[in-house]
Amino acid sequence: MTDAECLELLRWASLHLQLRYEGFRRVRGQVCKRVGRRMKALGVVGLPAYLARLEADPAERAVLDALCRVTISRFYRDQGVFEALRESLLPQILEAVRSRGESVFRVWSAGCASGEEPYTMAVLFRLGLWPRFPEFRMELVATDADASLLERARSGCYRRATLRELPSGWVDQAFTSEGEELCLRPEYREGLDFRCQDLRQGMPEGPFHLVLCRNVAFTYFARPVQREVLARLLERLVPGGVLAIGAHESLPEDAQGLVRAAGALPLFHPVGPRL
C-alpha cells in the first residue's frame, strides 16, 4: 500500500469509524502495514476493492477498527507525570481520604494495552506511597478493547528495555528474572482487575481517585466522541481527583469542568468541591 493509499484509507476510517485522522500522522505506516496484511489474507487486491468490502461488510469495518488501535507503551512513560503524582498529587488525595477514615485508593487505567501503565501504578503505590500510607490498599481497574493484549498484561512479564524509565532500585524490588524477561512479583499484582472494554461502548462504574486515559481517546477518537468520553470520565472521578491524559494530547477545545493540577503537565482536577 502506497502512502497516498494509506492516507485515503485513514480518511475513510475517520469518516466511518469516528476516528481522528490527524492522530495517525506519526503511526500511519504501522496501521497500514497491518491493513496490507489483512488484505492479503482476504485475497483482496487493491485499495478500491478493500474499501468496497468495507462499505458492504460491517464485520470487516470492526476488523479495521481493531487494526487502527496503536499500542505503544512502557513503564513510567512520561516520567514528569508520574513524579508529580507520586510527590504531590496522590499524597494530597490520600491524606484527604485518610481524614475521612477511609483506606481504599481507587484507580482506573483506560486503554491499558499490555499492562505497563497499571503495573507502573502498582509499583508506584507500593514503593512510592505505601511507606507513608501503610493502612491503604489500592484497587485498580485496567481496561482495553484488545483481549489479546490483556492476556499479555495478565502474565505480568516484560523485556528489561520497557522498564528502563522506572526509578532506580524499583525494578530489583518489584520484579524477578525469568529467562529473558522480568516478571512482576505477586504482591504487586494484588488489587488489579483487567477487563476487556472499549471506551466508546462501556466504562467501569467508579468512582475513582485517579483516572489515566492517555494516548487513546484524545489522540485517535473524533472530537465528538472525545467530548462524550470526557463527560463520562468526569462522572467517574471523585471531587478533587485527578485525570491524566497523554503528554502530547489536548482536551477538546470547548472542554469544561477541569483545571490543571500540576502546571503545564497533562494532569487535571475536576472543578468543584475538594475531597
What are the DSSP calls for 153-179, one per residue? HHHTEEEGGGGTTSPTTHHHHHEEEET
pLDDT tens-digit profile, the chain (275 residues): 888 999 999 999 999 999 998 888 878 888 999 999 999 999 999 999 999 999 999 999 999 999 998 877 899 999 999 999 999 999 999 999 999 999 999 999 999 999 999 999 999 999 999 999 999 999 999 999 999 999 999 999 999 999 999 998 999 999 999 989 999 999 999 999 999 999 999 999 989 999 999 999 999 999 999 999 999 999 999 999 999 999 999 999 888 889 999 999 999 999 876 66
Determine the pLDDT at residue 145: 94
Q: Report, in this order, helix, strand and coil percent for the chain, each rounded to 5.
A: 45, 20, 35
Q: Cell 524477578: give the residue.
A: 176
Residues designated as active site: 34, 144
The pLDDT of residue 274 = 67
Cβ neighbours, 10 Å, residue 219? 22
Predicted pLDDT at 161: 92
Maximum CA extent, the chain:
64
pTM: predicted TM-score of the whole model, two decimal places = 0.92
Angle between helices 3-17 and 28-42 (to 10 degrees): 90
CA-closest candidate to residue 2, choices 52, 47, 50: 47
Pairing of strands 104-110, 208-213: parallel
Q: Which residues, 6 or more positions from 194, have their beta carbon under 8 angstroms from its beta carbon? A: 112, 115, 118, 142, 143, 144, 150, 153, 154
Look at residue 29 in the predicted model and tell me its pLDDT: 86
**pLDDT value for 254:** 84
Residue found under cell 493484549: 149
Question: What is the rounded distance in angstroms from the CA atom of residue 89 to the CA atom of residue 209?
Answer: 11
Distance in angstroms (rounded) separating the CA atoms of residues 141 and 153: 12
Contact of 176 with 185, CB cutoff 8 Å: yes
Q: What integer pLDDT is reported at residue 273 of this predicted model?
A: 67
